[in-house]
Amino acid sequence: MDIPRIAIPGLLLVGIWLAGTTGCSDSSGSGSGGSKGTTEETEAPAEEGIAVEVGRVTRGSLSALYSTSATLRADKQATVIARTQGVLKKLNVEEGDWVEEGQPLAVLDDDEQRIAFDQASATYETKRRAHERSKSLHEQGLMSDEDYETTRREAVEARHTAELTELTLSRTVIRATFAGRVLIRHLDTGASVTDGAAVYDLADLDPLYADVQVPERQVAELKPGQTVRLLTDDDVSSGEAEIERIAPAVDPSTGTVKVTLAVRRAGGLRPGSFVRLGIVTDTHTDTLLVPRSALVAEGRRWHLFRIKKNDGGQPVAELIEVTRGYEEREHVEILDDPDTERPLGQGDVIVVTGASSLSDGSNVEVMGDNAGETQELTDETVDTGVAA
């Protein structure tokens, strides 16, 4: 078949155009693919930080405590009773009131006692005058020794009777036998009271006392006047106490020594309150303190995590091995170790929640109220590992 001449140049032009278009397309695709690979290498996502809460290392005082427990008691506690009989006419104080020694607490009807006192007083006055007259007569020799002695004896007996009735009358006013606080009122106004009936329970509550048994080996470290930490079983009411006296003998059956503690500031404590006691045997001052929750056990060793920033400004955890000292409630003493390469210092930011999930160099994300603590970390932290 004959092909027209004019068609050949046209086909050549179409082929050249298609070849150029394909080359441009391949070049463009290759360039695009190379650019995409470079972006993936430079924009690799950073490792997500582990959520933690932080605090700071502080300095303060911490004590070594010998812990025990006891029941508080009043040093003086007694039941005030009626010493005569009668009807309870008046109550002057109520439960919880503080009273002074000798203060009138209650009054009984005293008609019977007053009449008896008046009669005895009149009799005594008569006998006294008779004895004075007999004394004059005896001195003049007008009365025998026997009669004189009789009048003297009668006057003395009458005086004793008058004094006894006066004492009985005074007992119609029931008084406090010592200064203290009224614990219980046993009777109501109008009650018939007999000799020996209980009217009030009274106790001296300042100070309260606690008797504890301390092992003999611990007593050598104690002395009167030492501070004692005191806390109720419900951790609400607290007070302060001190050692008042130490028994000189050891109980051979238990190997302990009785130590008496005086609670000078008892707060809301009462006789019979059960308390936990921490007897201070030693105190370290100006020592490093960390929260107990910051420490992680690793066999018989302990460590914690300090927060620092890496070269990229990301907060990371730095493992610090520590030596524990005294412990008290939520705080633990960290002993200074001059040989360590990364010493802990006051003000260091440490992990207090989430430490068990970390390892040395872990990325962290600080959460909670103290999230702003990491903003204060400086370049010095990155270089030396010690917070500014």
Which CATH class name applies to 65-75+204-283? mainly beta
> Residues 76-86: what's their mean pLDDT?
94
SS3 at position 196? coil
The segment with the largest mean pLDDT, out of 27-41, 146-160, 221-235, 324-338, is 146-160
Average pLDDT over the chain, rounded to whole? 82
Q: What is the DSSP code (8-state) at residue 363? A: B
CB 244 within 8 A of CB 260: yes
Assess whether the previous peptide bond of 343 is cis (omega < 30° from 0): no
Say yes or no to pLDDT of 2 above 70. no
pLDDT digits (tens, 9 = 90+) for 19-48: 444 444 444 444 444 444 444 444 545 567
pLDDT score, position 180: 92
**Strand pairing category for 364-366 and 50-56:** parallel
pLDDT score, position 372: 66
Say yes or no to pLDDT of 3 above 80. no
Say yes or no to pLDDT of 233 above 90. no
Q: What is the DSSP code (8-state) at residue 251? A: B
SS3 at position 385? coil
175 vs 28, higher pLDDT? 175
pLDDT score, position 254: 93
Say yes or no to pLDDT of 120 above 90. yes
Say yes or no to pLDDT of 133 above 90. yes
**Has domain 51-62+285-384 been given CATH number 2.40.420.20?**
yes
> Residues 105-125: what's their mean pLDDT?
96
Same topology for domains 51-62+285-384 and 65-75+204-283, yes or no?
A: no
Assess whether the previous peptide bond of 291 is cis (omega < 30° from 0): no
pLDDT score, position 40: 47
Q: Please state at what angle helix 145-170 crosses helix 111-139, rounded to 10 degrees.
A: 160
199 vs 263, higher pLDDT? 199
Element (H, E) at 25: helix 7-42
pLDDT score, position 319: 93
**Cβ neighbours, 10 Å, residue 350:** 25
Q: What are the residue ranges spanned by the domains of the chain?
A: 51-62+285-384, 65-75+204-283, 82-199
pLDDT score, position 290: 95
Phi, psi of 57 (to 5 degrees): -75, 130
> Residues 81-108: what's their mean pLDDT?
95
Answer yes or no: pTM beyond 0.75: no
CB 290 within 8 A of CB 247: no
Closest CA to 281 of 328, 336, 343: 328
Closest CA to 288 of 65, 56, 53: 56
> Could you give the CA distance from residue 317 to residue 306 in angstroms, rounded to a whole number?
6
SS3 at position 206? strand
Say yes or no to pLDDT of 14 above 50. no
pLDDT score, position 375: 59
> Residues 168-176: what's their mean pLDDT?
96
pLDDT score, position 264: 76
Say yes or no to pLDDT of 99 above 80. yes
pLDDT score, position 12: 39
DSSP secondary structure letters along 37-104: HHHHHHTPPPPPPEEEEEEE-EEEEEEEEEEEEEE-EEEEEEEEE-SS-EEEEEE---TT-EE-TT-E
The number of residues making up the chain comes to 388
pLDDT digits (tens, 9 = 90+) for 237-288: 466 789 999 999 999 999 999 999 998 766 677 888 888 888 887 889 999 9
pLDDT score, position 374: 62
pLDDT score, position 25: 45
> Could you give the CA distance from residue 154 to residue 128 in angstroms, rounded to a whole number?
8
pLDDT score, position 23: 47
Closest CA to 203 of 74, 19, 371, 50: 74
Name the least confident of 195-199, 200-204, 328-332.
328-332
Q: What is the DSSP code (8-state) at residue 221? A: T
SS3 at position 198? strand
Name the least confident of 126-130, 169-173, 233-237.
233-237
> Could you give the CA distance from residue 386 to residue 367 in angstroms, rounded to a whole number?
21
pLDDT score, position 250: 95
Q: Is the four-CA dihedral 103, 105, 109, 112 of positive or negative sign? A: negative
Say yes or no to pLDDT of 200 above 70. yes
